[in-house]
Structure 1
Amino acid sequence: MYQIKTYNAIAKEGLAEFGDNYRINQTDDADAYMIRSVDLHDHVFPKNLKAIARCGAGFNNIPLDKALENGTAVFNTPGGNANAVKELVLASMIIASRNIVAAANWSANAKPGADITLRTEKEKTNFNGTELLGKTVAVIGLGHVGSLVANACLDLGMKVVGYDPYLTVDAAWRLSDRIKRASSIADAVTDADFVTVHVPKNDETTGLIADAKIAQMKPTTILLNFSRLGIVDNKAVVEALNEGRLGKYYTDFSDATILHHDNIVIMPHIGGSTIEAEINCARMAARETTEFLETGNIKNSVNLPDVSAPFESDHRITLIHKNIPNMIGQISTNLAGRGINIENLVNKAKGKYAYTMIDIDEVDKKTRDSIVETLSAIPAVTRVRFLTREK
């Protein structure tokens, strides 16, 4: 029986993925968490916690190193809300081009009177906009969201320039061959009417779009950030807007630096806030969790490598451990000393930690418990699990 604890509101369709062998929110000493935006940095992880599944792509609310020290795998759901974000980006491009916010505010604040129709016809020219057709958009980052945005912009008749130095094979397959590939951000943004950023936030991307990059843009360029707060330097944006070196800025992340500016539109982090996206992410998170708990296989972990293998026997040992020399030797020596034959062994590393799965011969419960105890005693090991294949 596995115990699941939820934080935030998790779509019921996702929770329905858990079968009869699971209990939801019946104890704080859970085997796995299902979360959205709750900040876990100051959270005390129970030793029993084997997995945290983030229903969304971002995971900066989870202390990954702390989780590894506890032997906890962390998962996210890349692509689960990608279409929702894509649609909001496209909507923002249209809103910005057609001055829709300013026009709607004018209508909302117009004083009633007999001449309202005449005044509307006269003043509507103040909100003349431009069309997306034929305009150029630079898409920085061509992952799940960026590739959808790029392809959709092509469908709208736009010219698309993409930049992604870490483009994966899977992402490349998703992209139209009509997208021009830039060799640098400067190359991508130089002639762009729109620049939209779709990269994960890390040490390399924090402040990615700042003074130097903005200086490469046209004074009329519309900049959009629907990735993460901090990827775009907000202070540099405000200065560029005030000096007429940038057209407009649309973002999904509020910050005091950019409040109350005529050429900035801030949305309250609603990129992934659709019913469909929340259901998709919850289902993905639940499936990743059940697969890991029941088989040991890992998919879409952000602190451990992806590892997947079919059972080669009825019993499997999984270990989370530091990525240091002689770990496999210590583990295999321990098993060999008990006369246990290894049917299959898979080991992969990610940064300072590694994950090992070992399929072994039949053993009795006493031997199983002893194996878990002795392998757990190895100083570099933070989690040992013994799994039995369901028949």
Structure 2
Amino acid sequence: MPKVLIADKLSPLAVEVFKQRGLEVDFETSLSPEELTARAGDYDGIAGIVVMNTPYGNATTTAEHTIALIFALARQIPTADASTQAGKWEKSRFMGTELTGKTLGLIGCGNIGSIVAERALGLRMKVVAYDPFLSKDRAVDLGVEKVELDELLPRADVITLHVPMNDQTRGIIDAAADLKAALESGQVAGAALDVFEIEPAKENALFGLPNLVCTPHLGASTTEAQENVAVQIAEQMSDYLLNGAVTNAINMPSLTAEDAKRLGPYMRLAEDLGSFAGQLTRTGLQAVTIEYEGHVAELNTRPLTQAALTGLLRPMLDSVNMVNAPVLARQRDIEL
């Protein structure tokens, strides 16, 4: 029976999922790093760590926080609250903006962005979206208009960003460096931030501006979201330990339970063939070519490729596994 150690705070629902799936669970949140290292060998999945995320567990909560921040800006709720609690009654000072009929510009229309779009449409807003990966059919299904970035910016009354920081989005996000001047000049009426480049954000050039609303990365901070994430990761880990299924992994290909069962014999063969080739190799590897023909070519071959690469590198590297094989190959300038 696979054994799981939970060493961090997690919803009790996740523990129940593991137990219901037939896994043995130890729940100890007070272990020191040294104790955790000493105990790691008693549990499954340590030698090659599959890193999974839970992209759907907190998407709704994060989208709701986005809508809350939009309302907070449109109606100046934080400053109005502070003013009223200070004993002032500045009703005429806080003239708000109605959202109905306004245009929301959505930069990034993935898991979170698509839910923001649905909520905005429910508020009778118009939604235009910029996302290179958003298909026309998906845009129609969501009820949004897909546009290019240079069209979105002048059309939108409200703009929200739901993109990761990478080479493709850095130009968009780095534009925030000009945000202070835009807020002070009135070119941008207000801004709301929940994520900062450096966290915890103890200081920031924007702090103190009257038309700025900030929260300390609260997007996923609801009881429901934390339970959803805990249950989802428990289900994913159980599927992996019991069936070999890999879902939402960020360091190896996804693999359904059906694929794991179907590919099992091929994966063993791929690793054995890779090991055989690795033992025959007498010179430094520069490139590896793997070809698939016949029935196997119609299957999910990415896990097979990693299995073959694992076998190929094992004669040279004892610590190689399916998770780290591609990384080790890149570090050694081996082209795959």
TM-score (ref. length: structure 1): 0.63
Residue deviations 1:110-167 (CA, integer Å, cap 9, x gap): 16xxxxxxxx3xx301101111001111011111110011111111111100111023
The residue correspondences of 1:59-98 to structure 2 (distance < 5 A) are: 71-98=48-75
Code of the residue aligned with 1:242 in structure 2: it is E
- Equivalent in 217, 233, 237 of residue 285 of structure 1: 233
Deviation at 1:108, TM superposition (A): 0.5
Tell whether 2:96 aligns with 1:129: yes
**Counterpart of 2:117?**
150
Tell whether 2:199 aligns with 1:261: no
The residue correspondences of 1:11-50 to structure 2 (distance < 5 A) are: 11-19=11-19, 20-25=22-27
Partners of 2:51 and 2:254 in 1: how far apart?
11
**Counterpart of 1:362?**
none
Code of the residue aligned with 1:250 in structure 2: it is A
Deviation at 1:318, TM superposition (A): 5.7
CA 347–45 in structure 1, closer or farther in 2 if over 3 Å, else same: farther
**Counterpart of 1:229?**
none
Code of the residue aligned with 2:302 in structure 1: it is A
**Counterpart of 1:308?**
256
Partners of 2:106 and 2:38 in 1: how far apart?
39
CA 252–306 in structure 1, closer or farther in 2 if over 3 Å, else same: same
Specify every segment of 5 or more residues in structure 1 that has no aligned partner in the other structure, as ranges: 34-42, 53-69, 112-119, 212-232, 320-325, 335-342, 358-371, 386-391
Residue deviations 1:336-387 (CA, integer Å, cap 9, x gap): xxxxxxx97965439xx95449xxxxxxxxxxxxxx9x888444782379xx
Kept in 2: contact 1:253–1:269 (CA 8 A): yes
Tell whether 2:45 aligns with 1:10: no
Partners of 2:276 and 2:218 in 1: how far apart?
49
Code of the residue aligned with 2:118 in structure 1: it is N
Deviation at 1:188, TM superposition (A): 1.3
The residue correspondences of 1:325-344 to structure 2 (distance < 5 A) are: 329-330=273-274
Tell whether 2:179 aligns with 1:245: no
Tell whether 2:144 aligns with 1:179: yes
Kept in 1: contact 2:277–2:312 (CA 8 A): no
Kept in 1: contact 2:3–2:43 (CA 8 A): no
Specify which structure has the higher proportion of helix: 2
Partners of 2:262 and 2:101 in 1: how far apart?
59
Code of the residue aligned with 1:259 in structure 2: it is F
CA 151–176 in structure 1, closer or farther in 2 if over 3 Å, else same: farther
- Equivalent in 317, 320, 325 of residue 382 of structure 1: 320
Specify which structure has the higher proportion of strand: 1
Specify every segment of 5 or more residues in structure 2 that has no aligned partner in the other structure, as ranges: 279-294, 324-336
CA 12–332 in structure 1, closer or farther in 2 if over 3 Å, else same: farther
Partners of 1:189 and 1:3 in 2: how far apart?
52
Deviation at 1:297, TM superposition (A): 1.5
**Counterpart of 1:117?**
none
* Equivalent residues, number: 291
Secondary structure of 2:321 counterpart:
strand
The residue correspondences of 1:94-109 to structure 2 (distance < 5 A) are: 94-109=71-86
Residue deviations 1:303-335 (CA, integer Å, cap 9, x gap): 11112253658976868xxxxxx967425889x
Secondary structure of 1:301 counterpart:
coil
Kept in 1: contact 2:104–2:127 (CA 8 A): yes
Code of the residue aligned with 1:244 in structure 2: it is G
